[in-house]
C-alpha cells in the first residue's frame, strides 16, 4: 500500500502578512467597541438602581 501526504497550507502562507495584521487590528477595535457598549449599559443600569433606591428612601411626612 502506498502512502500519500496532503499538505494543507496555513492561513499565513496564503494571506499576506499586512492583511492578517489589519484583520487582527480590526477585530480588536470591534471588541473594544463592544466593551464600550457593555460598560455604558452597565453604567445606565447602576444609575437606574441608584434612582430606585433613592425612591425607596422617600417617605411621606404628614403636615398638621
Question: In this predicted model, what pLDDT tens digit does every residue of 8-47 receive, in sequence order?
Answer: 888 778 899 999 999 999 999 999 999 999 999 999 999 9
Long-range contacts of 29-36 (CB under 8 A, 24+ apart): none
In whole angstroms, give the CA distance from residue 40 to residue 59.
31
- Higher per-residue confidence, 18 vs 56: 18
At residue 58, the 3 state secondary structure works out as coil
Whether 32 contacts 24, CB under 8 Å:
no
Whether 52 contacts 45, CB under 8 Å:
no
The confidence score (pLDDT) of residue 56 equals 78
Per-residue pLDDT band at 53 (split at 50, 70, 90): confident
Amino acid at each position: 500500500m502506498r502512502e500519500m501526504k496532503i499538505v494543507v497550507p496555513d492561513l499565513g502562507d496564503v494571506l499576506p502578512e499586512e492583511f492578517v495584521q489589519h484583520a487582527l487590528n480590526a477585530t480588536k477595535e470591534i471588541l473594544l467597541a463592544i466593551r464600550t457598549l457593555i460598560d455604558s449599559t452597565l453604567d445606565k443600569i447602576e444609575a437606574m438602581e441608584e434612582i430606585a433606591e433613592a425612591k425607596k428612601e422617600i417617605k411621606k411626612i404628614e403636615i398638621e
